[in-house]
Structure 1
C-alpha cells in the first residue's frame, strides 16, 4: 500500500512540476497550422476557402453541433463580412470576421470566442499553386494564458484532429 501511495505522490508532484514549468517557461504565443495539397486549380480551391459560407461546408468545428445557429453578415467573401455562431457546450458561441484578403492567395480573419470562454485568435487561409494542384495552409495564432499553457499539448492534439479533418473534407469536396 505504501508503494502505491508513493507512486501516486510522485505522479502528483510531476504533474505540479509540469504545470509550474509550463506556466513559467512556455511561450504565450501560440501558432498552429496544417496544410494539404488539393488536386484542383487554385481558383476552384479559392472559392471554397475565401467565402465564409463555403468554409462552413467543410470546417469541422460547426459540425460538432447539428443544431448550431449560424448568422451571416454580408456576402461572406469581402473584408468586413462575418458570421456569428451559437451552439451547444462543445461548440460554444463566437464570431469570425474577415479582416484582410489578398485575392486568390490569402484570407485573414479575426476569431472571437464568446462562450464557453472568452478568447481571440487570428485565422489565415493561404492558397498557393503546387505542381498540378494547390497547397492550402490553414493556421491559427493567439495568446495563451497560464492555464492554456498547461493545456498546450492537449490543444495541439485536438487542433491537429480538427484541422486535418477539415482539410481532408475540403480536399474531398473540391476534388
Structure 2
C-alpha cells in the first residue's frame, strides 16, 4: 500500500513507582505505510522511494524507520478477550508467568515481527483490558539473544490482555 494511514494502538508499559493505584492502557497513535505480516502489523514511517512495504517485507529489505505491533494492539480489537479463559481462574496475589507479544521500534533492520516476552511476578490486578504484575522479571525470549527488559527491574508491569498468549501459575 502506498497510502499513509493513521492507526491507534495500545502498548505494555512498566513503572518504578513504589505503589500503583489506578492503572489504564495508554493510547498511542502512529502514521505510516501499513502492511499486515501474519499476526503483526508493520507500520513504516520512512521507506525507500518507489518500493512498497509489501515488497520490502517479501525481499527482506531493511525498514528505514517503523513499528511492528501485534495485530491485537489495535484499539478496535485490544479489548477482546477471545482465547484467555485462563484469566478467569486467576486470583490476585498468585505468582505467575505470562508470555506476551510486544511492540517493536525498528530502524534500519530487516525485522517484521514482534518480540516475545515472558514476565514472571505476582498478579497485582486484573482489569477489563490489562493485567498488572508486581515485582516483575521480564525477559525477551524472541528474537535471540535472550535479554532482560528493561535492564533496571521495575516495580510493576502493565500488560494488555490482548497481548497475552499464555499464562501459567508458578508454585
Q: Normalising by structure 1, what TM-score? A: 0.29
TM-score between both structures, scaled by the size of structure 2: 0.30
Structure number with the bigger relative contact order (C-alpha 8 A, sep ≥ 6) is: 1
